[in-house]
Amino acid sequence: MRMKGRVALVTGAASGIGRAIAEAFAREGARVGVADVDAAGARTVAEAITASGGSALAVSMDVTREDQVTQGVDALVAHFGGVDVLVSNAGVQHIAAVVDCSFEAWRRLLAIHLDGAFLTTRACMRHMVAAGKGGCLLYMGSVHSVEASPLKAPYVAAKHGILGLARAVAKEGAPHGIWSNVIAPGFVRTPLVEKQIPEQARDLGISEQEVVKNVMLKNTVDGEFTTLDDVAQLAVFLASFPSRALTGQSVVVSHGWHMQ
């Protein structure tokens, strides 16, 4: 029960990594806001958490919409009495070479990752500062926050940008007891990754098996995918770390794909 009594908002929590973090937080005693643009998916996850004895609220939220973020965070605070932890996790991928990438696709990806991280940070920080109890901001970066790959320029740019936001709010948050860190996973088999395997195979002219072995897992130390539980355990560790010495950092969980 490392998170007992705390309230956490997790975006993109209807699926994949966000869902795993929301469930892990609830198992550790947190009351969780399950936020997603997929409102039905968010309800399903919140109901599953409640059915297993946890406490959760589904929050319908498109993180690119200022009004929806404000209303969603206000609703969470009204329901649970505050917000102590934000996990800015909602994200998408877009596979295209820069020369083939539409401006619309570029803007959509940056809006979800960066506008979403900014809007949810601002809304949660305002409540945290007003409550005067401090708080924890976690951002879902990626190995692509510190490495680049072809066909992923918008994603690589957005994930590098997340590092800057997390470091800036680590400095602005410190006087208020708010700390901020980035989780940077390697490849995890979620819908976001399953979708890009055939897309990369098509664009690179190789088989799907080669995409997995020679692209996704090529630089890991053991050829293994990172798991949902690996990432969720790291999120619990960072959210429950007992000292505010750990702030402005990124922690890479990638089977050694990137070593820092």
Name the residues that contact ligand NAD, by CB under 6 A. Answer: 11-12, 14-18, 36-38, 41, 61-64, 89-92, 112, 140, 142, 185, 187-188, 190-193
- At residue 205, φ and ψ (nearest 5 deg) are 70, 35
Nearer to ligand NAD, 174 or 251 (CB): 251
Nearer to ligand NAD, 64 or 121 (CB): 64
Q: Token pair for residue 155?
A: 């994603």
DSSP string, 223-258: S--B-HHHHHHHHHHHHT-S-TTS-SEEEEESTTSS
CB atoms within 10 A of CB 258: 19
Closest approach of Cβ 92 to ligand NAD, in Å? 5
Alpha helices in the chain (DSSP H): 16-27, 39-51, 66-80, 103-110, 116-131, 153-173, 191-204, 208-210, 228-239
- At residue 253, φ and ψ (nearest 5 deg) are -125, 95
Nearer to ligand NAD, 108 or 133 (CB): 108
Residues with Cβ within 8 Å of residue 228, at least 6 apart in sequence: 16, 17, 19, 20, 188, 190
Closest approach of Cβ 176 to ligand NAD, in Å? 25
Closest approach of Cβ 123 to ligand NAD, in Å? 13
Closest approach of Cβ 56 to ligand NAD, in Å? 15
* Rounded Cα gap, residues 53 and 132, in angstroms: 30
Nearer to ligand NAD, 129 or 233 (CB): 233
DSSP 8-class letter at 222: S
Catalytic residue among 25, 80, 155, 187: 155
**Is there a catalytic annotation at residue 139?**
no
Residues tagged active-site = 155
